[in-house]
Amino acid sequence: MGGGAAGSVYRSLVLTNASDQECSVEGYPGVSFTDAAGAQIGAPAERDGSAPVRVALAPGASVSTTLQQTNAGNYGGDCGLTQSAGLRVYPPGATDSLVLPQAISACSDTAIVLMRVGTLQPAS
């Protein structure tokens, strides 16, 4: 799901406990653009500074956050404009990830941060 603002799109990221045991999460997911081979493109999402909340997740329960994505076209050719194939998302503290398909323009220049992510909260 997405909404827009001048030069930005806001998307909801939802993570669901797919196991048969309760778990907990606290903090920010890691998010970055990827190419078709799964390699990271540019800078990862920066954190929005919101206070982390520890959330217990029963099997099947979810947490969510908002991801702000700035239009790479705002930076012109100076940013190393390239097409992304997806978004890699890491749960807080995890080393395993998943890639969500998303074909949009990204910047290969790691000095330009195109995404900002909030802390995970109980999904409503």
CA-closest candidate to residue 58, choices 122, 9, 103, 102: 122
Task: Confirm if 87 and 34 have CB atoms less than 8 A apart.
Answer: yes
pLDDT for residue 100 is more than 60 = yes
8-state DSSP, 6:
T
More reliable by pLDDT, 76 or 108: 108
Could you give all domains of the chain from N- to C-terminal order, each with its CATH number?
Answer: 2-122 (2.60.40)
List Cβ neighbours of 111 (8 Å cut-off, separation of 6 or more).
43
pLDDT tens-digit profile of 49-83? 999 999 999 999 999 999 999 999 998 878 999 99
